[in-house]
Structure 1
Amino acid sequence: MCGRLNIIDDPDVIELCEGLQIQIFPERQIFNRFIRATNQVSIVRQKSGVRRMENATWWLLLEPSETGFKPSKFTSFNTRYDKLNTKGAAGYQVYRKSRCVIPVKGFGETEYVNGKPIHCHDMIAKDGAMLLGGLCREWLNKDTGETALSFSVITLPPHPKLLAIHSKASPLMLPLDMQLIDNWLDVAVTDPSVFSSLLQPHIPYDLVAQQIDKPSTYRASSDTFIIPSDL
């Protein structure tokens, strides 16, 4: 899984966002060293031919509440790769119609055994920033007219280089190939077979990793080490 995001106000993150040629910023971009599921995150999507950065709830499935919308009881901050082509699954339609990218400096993982955390690691891009691939969905409360935007991060099988950090899954890290990114964000691209190669675990960036005590305090408990990108 992808358990937390690191989106700091960093020149590399800003440069990456500028390279995405975002045309509309309806809301102020969110920066935070420790963003967890159900928090608001700045994502990039394309709507009506215009690339937009908008703030979305990190939980794909929402439901109406007295104060607007709230995360559904069904866990959906990540969407597994093997559910993207399963009819009836939460990600099936949005994978074809509403993909997004999440610009980040890095992400974090916690390994659990029998429901208990064993160790936590943070990883950041060694040079620059990175893009995670995700899905987004708009919600409308028919009674109040209120709208909301939500998203999930797509997760892949565990990557061999990350097994000692997290043995269950790895996030979809998109290579900085602008033609690929353009296709990913283009709502006119509805045939997901063009993205099949992305659904294999792959690390397109050199990562700097470090074990920490826990996500909320992120005190280092080891030296940093490099996880090299895949060739």
Structure 2
Amino acid sequence: MCGRFNVSDSPAVKQLLLRLGIDTHNWPIRISDYHRACSTISIICRLQEETGQDNVGECTVLEDAIWWLLLDYKDQQYKPSRFTSFNSRYDKLNAQGSAAYLPYRQSRCIIPASGFGETEHERINGKKKPIRYTNFSSEQALALGGLYRQWQHPETGHIINSCSIITLPPHPKLHAYQSNASPLILPLEGDWLEQWLDPQVQDVERFAPLLQPQLRQNLTAQIINKPGERKALGDPVLLEADT
């Protein structure tokens, strides 16, 4: 599953933000070579705003969010829940009662990224241990499909965002590096991004084709020694987009 990603201040990322109406001067994105679960990251979402005379409109904004969908209120602050929720599995999106069910219909978001990382595990002597770390990158920006929730602090009224990345079954071209799952990468063509962000779109059947593993853009796979150092092991491998 997607447990880390990176985002750079590249022209491709800026182009993605501008396309969605984000002012890159007023809304600086959180840049990092190594965003991990529970980090504060940047998400793109569509929120309601007052437009005057008691009218309410919508605007697309870049917001901070904790990369962990479920939060608990402890010690007068919101903290990640004990229930793992940095990813939301595709097969839970339509399961009533799941943490992802309502956000999938009401509060979808896009996590802009330059690449992501995967860890392959193996059970050794009954224990799950990492055996391979791989970083994936693209010349284009990656629009990772995500969900978000908002939590209001009971004392200050401050709104805190949390989010998750949707994961799909492993794509055959990624299977050699990660046999468990792959992140949902939204297509840049057409109006899929705009539909994904639109909270008025609650007929999620239209998104069913997106939940099938598909490589929509070229990726470069690079095996590394470990996420903290990211030292390349061997040559990078080009994974061409599906035709």
TM-score under structure 1 length normalisation: 0.95
Cα pair 1:59 1:71 within 8 Å, conserved? yes
2:134 aligned to 121, 134, 139, which one? 121
Deviation at 1:98, TM superposition (A): 0.2
Q: State whether structure 2 residue 160 is matched by structure 1 residue 148.
A: yes
Counterpart for residue 77 of structure 1: 86
8 A Cα contact 1:173 1:204, kept in partner: yes
1:215 and 2:227 matched? yes
Query: 1:142: Cα distance to partner?
Result: 2.4
Determine helix, strand or coil for the equivalent of 2:21: coil
Q: Which SS does the other structure have where 1:94 is aligned?
A: helix
Q: State the alpha-carbon separation in 1 of the partners of residues 87 and 26 from structure 2.
A: 25
Partner SS, residue 191 of structure 2: helix
Aligned to 1:98: 107
Counterpart of 1:166?
Answer: 178
Q: Structure 1 residues 46 and 12 mapped into 2: Cα distance closer, same or farther (>3 Å)?
A: same
Which aligned segments of 4 or more residues in structure 1 are displaced greater than 3 angstroms? Answer: 23-28
Mapped to 1, the partners of 2:59 and 2:199 lie a distance apart of: 10
Q: Contact (CA 8 Å) 2:17, 2:23: kept in 1 or not? A: no
For the pair shown, the structure with the greater C-alpha radius of gyration is 2
Determine what percentage of the aligned residue pairs are the same residue. Answer: 45
The answer as to whether partners of 2:69 and 2:163 remain within 8 angstroms in 1 is yes
- CA separation in 2, counterparts of 1:107 and 1:78? 13
- Letter of the 1:31 partner, please give it: I
Structure 2 CA distance for partners of 1:80 and 1:194, relative to 1, 3 Å:
same
Partner of 2:11: 11
Equivalents in 2 of 1:110, 1:98: separation in Å? 28
Alpha-carbon offset, residue 65 of structure 1: 2.3
- Asked whether the 8 Å contact 1:77–1:151 carries over to 2, the reply is yes
Q: CA deviation at 1:17?
A: 1.3
Deviation at 1:8, TM superposition (A): 1.4
Distance 1:27 1:56, change over 3 A: farther
Q: Secondary structure at the match of 1:173?
A: coil
In the TM superposition, residue 67 of structure 1 has moved relative to its aligned partner by 5.2
Letter in 1 for 2:179: S
Task: Give the corresponding residue for 1:2.
Answer: 2
Inter-partner Cα distance in structure 2 for 1:40 and 1:174: 21
1:22 is the counterpart of 2:22: yes
SS at structure 2 position matched to 1:193: helix
Cα-to-partner distance string for 1:73-131 (whole Å, 9 max, x where unaligned): 00000000000000000000000000000111010000011210000000001x32111
Describe the SS at the equivalent of 1:128. strand
**Unaligned runs of at least 5 residues, structure 2:** 49-57
Match of 2:202 among 182, 185, 190: 190
Partner residue in 1 for 2:33: 33
Where does residue 116 of structure 2 map in the other structure?
107
C-alpha spacing 1:169/1:31, structure 2 compared with 1 (3 Å): same
Which stretch of the first structure deviates more once superposed, 146-155 or 25-34?
Answer: 25-34
CA contact (8 A) 1:154 1:171 kept: yes
| Mapped partners of 1:212, 1:135: distance in 2 | 29
1:65 equivalent to 2:82? Answer no
1:131 counterpart letter in structure 2 = A
Opposite residue 205 of structure 1, the aligned amino acid is: Q
